[in-house]
Each structure stands twice: as C-alpha cells, then as structure tokens.
Amino acid sequence: MNIHLHANATTTPKTRQYIQASNQSVPQLADELGVSEDTIRRWKGRDGVADGSHTPHRLQTTLTPAQELVVVELRKTLLLPLDDLLAVTHEFIHPDVSRSGLDRCLRRHGVSNLTALLPQEEGAQKPPHKRFKDYAPGFVHVDVKYLPQMPDEDQRTYLFAAIDRATRWVYVEILKDKSATAASGFFKRLIDHAPFTIRKVLTDNGKEFTDRFCATGERPPTGTHAFDRVCADHHIEHRLTKPRTPQTNGMIERFNGRIADVLRTHRFDSAASLQATLKRFVYLYNYHIPQKNLQHKTPLQTLQEWYAQQPQLFKKSPRNHPGPDN
C-alpha cells in the first residue's frame, strides 16, 4: 500500500489509529510516543488517519470579494490590459494589490485572456491596422469632445485634448465653449506646458480650428483664423485631416474613447468632481500606465528616453511631478 505522508509528519497511520483507540490521557500518550500534546489532540479529534489537504482554507488575497467583483467588471467592460488595470486598481480600488495578485484574481474569475473577451463578429474580417509613421516628439494631435452636463452647471462643457504622436503624452483642459478663441487659447497653453517644442499639429476641420469650410463650400485655409495665427507665431505647421475621415486623427480619437469609458463608469455630482476625476486619469495615463505601442513604457518614461538621446527637441527636462491632488 502506498502511504503519502507530509515531509514533517511525526506519526504514521498506525500510530494515529493507536492514538484514536487509546483511553490514556493526552500527556501520557504524548510522553509515550514522543510527540507534542497538540499532535495527540489533533488526531484524537479526527475520524481518519490520512493527512489532510495543505491548501489554505482562505486565499491570501489583498482584494476583498467585493473589490474583486469590481475589478472583474472593469476588465470585462473596459477591456483593459493587465498593466492598465493594475494602475486603475491602485488609484481607485486598492493601493497595495500586486501585479501577480491581480493576475491570479483574473485567472480565478476566468477573465485572464483579454483576446477571448473581445467581441467577435462572425464572418467579419478585421481591417489591417496601419501604423503611424515614426516621428520624434513635437507632432501633436488635437481634438475636442462634449462632456456631460453636471447638476451644478447650466450648460455642457468641452474637453480639449492633445496627444503627442511619438510619446503618447497628453494634455487636457475643460473649457466653456469650443470657439476659435477657446481653441487658440488652449493651444497657447499647450505650447507653454509641453516639455518639448511643438513643430506640427493635426486637427480636424471644425470651425474652432480652421476656416477651410465656409458658406460657399471648401476653400484653402486663409491663414487668418485664430488657431492658424498661433501656429504662425510659433512656427508650427498646421495639418488638417481629410474631410469625413476621423480615422486620420485616430490617435486622439482612441484617447477620447478612454475618456468616454471613464465617464460611463463613474457618477459625478458636480463639475468639480468630474474635473478631479479626469485630472487623476490624465495623471495616471502620463505617469503610471505602460502602453503596448511604447514597448510597455509610460509616456513619461518615453519622454525621458527621448530627452537623454535628443535634448535639443525639448524646452525643459521631463520629470516626475507630484500626484494629481498635490
């Protein structure tokens, strides 16, 4: 008969049977068999003589069951990669969860394979993905999107967002309107805030960015639009997307999609709470979320690598900044 005993076992199945059948006291049996009294009590309290399972009855996990459910829903709803999900979990759910612990959580709940969670359309072929041409820091994409109206607001506001093509570094502002004045003011502040020198900017054909379209139809931009004047003052090339082709500005559109996910998964009771949440998200995005297109580095790490190699592209050294609430 094959007997599987724990490596540190001090008793055999025969000894255990003797303990369970004996009428001697615990101290007497412990002295007779040369084991501890705890061992005697343990086997007197059991019905069998086989070693029990050594698997912990309670999983050593940092997340509570309720927090695990939230993490799983975020994974299924937002389809976040593990590193992105870890950054969001640290910020909004539990600051001490480890990457390996989060991975085990996803495996326990059957959502570790991100590809399997992606929607699949039967018979549909995914169009080939075109990569952006490689550029150095300084080519930014700019766009604007509506934000939901908050209970303490009398009108909707607008999110102006810019993203650098090479490093994925982003800058956003919430403004009251999307006029040419608002767009040009945003761009001026972006130029001052960016650590690199902006050389090119890509926008769509909205009236806040260009006068390419007028009452008589399409025409060449006059160069007198407020946004174009800012570009001219700073020697920046202003490129426009092809009409009715938003995919041309797909990089900023994808970032706006992430913003839309944040808006769908949070409740806001005021404009201040909306602004604070978006500020935290942008901070996470720039400083803590590694990105696949950046070889799993963050935008800040990518900026720092570019700065070490080509400091002439920068106006100031990219560095870690205090958190969004400091």
139-313 carries CATH number 3.20.20.70: no
Rounded CA gap, 209 and 183, in Å? 7
**What pLDDT was estimated at residue 120?**
58
Q: What would the mean pLDDT of 5-27 be, rounded to a whole number?
A: 83
Question: Which of 324 and 159 is assigned the larger pLDDT?
Answer: 159
Q: What tens digit of pLDDT does each residue of 128-187 get?
A: 544 545 689 999 999 999 898 898 988 889 999 999 999 999 999 999 999 999 999 999
**What pLDDT was estimated at residue 289?**
84
Query: Which pLDDT band, with edges at 50, 70 and 90, does 95 fall under?
Result: confident
**What pLDDT was estimated at residue 316?**
93
Residue 169, burial from CB neighbour count under 10 angstroms (0-12, 13-18, 19+): buried
Q: Is the pLDDT of residue 259 over 80?
A: yes
The domain limits of the chain are: 13-44, 66-112, 139-313
Cβ distance 72 to 107 under 8 Å? no
Query: Which pLDDT band, with edges at 50, 70 and 90, does 261 fall under?
Result: confident
**What pLDDT was estimated at residue 123?**
47
Q: Name the H helices within 79-217.
A: 82-92, 99-108, 114-117, 180-193
Q: Name the H helices within the chain.
A: 13-21, 26-33, 37-44, 65-78, 82-92, 99-108, 114-117, 180-193, 226-233, 250-264, 271-287, 299-309
Query: Which pLDDT band, with edges at 50, 70 and 90, does 84 fall under?
Result: confident
Q: What tens digit of pLDDT does each residue of 206-256 get?
A: 999 999 887 777 888 999 999 999 999 999 999 998 877 665 567 778 888
**What pLDDT was estimated at residue 43?**
83
The one-letter code for the residue type at 85 is L
Rounded CA gap, 169 and 142, in Å? 12
Cβ distance 82 to 103 under 8 Å? yes
Q: Is the pLDDT of residue 323 over 60?
A: no
Query: Which pLDDT band, with edges at 50, 70 and 90, does 122 fall under?
Result: very low
Question: Which of 19 and 324 is assigned the larger pLDDT?
Answer: 19
Query: Which pLDDT band, with edges at 50, 70 and 90, does 76 fall under?
Result: confident
Terminal alpha carbon distance of the chain? 68
Report field, pTM of the whole predicted structure over 0.75 = no
Q: Which of 192, 189, 188, 195 has the alpha carbon at shortest distance from 164?
A: 195
Query: Which pLDDT band, with edges at 50, 70 and 90, does 54 fall under?
Result: low
**What pLDDT was estimated at residue 125?**
56
Question: Which of 316 and 130 is assigned the larger pLDDT?
Answer: 316
Least confident of 20-24, 65-69, 244-248: 244-248
Least confident of 30-34, 185-189, 248-252, 308-312: 248-252
CA 317 to chain centre: 25
Query: Which pLDDT band, with edges at 50, 70 and 90, does 8 fall under?
Result: low
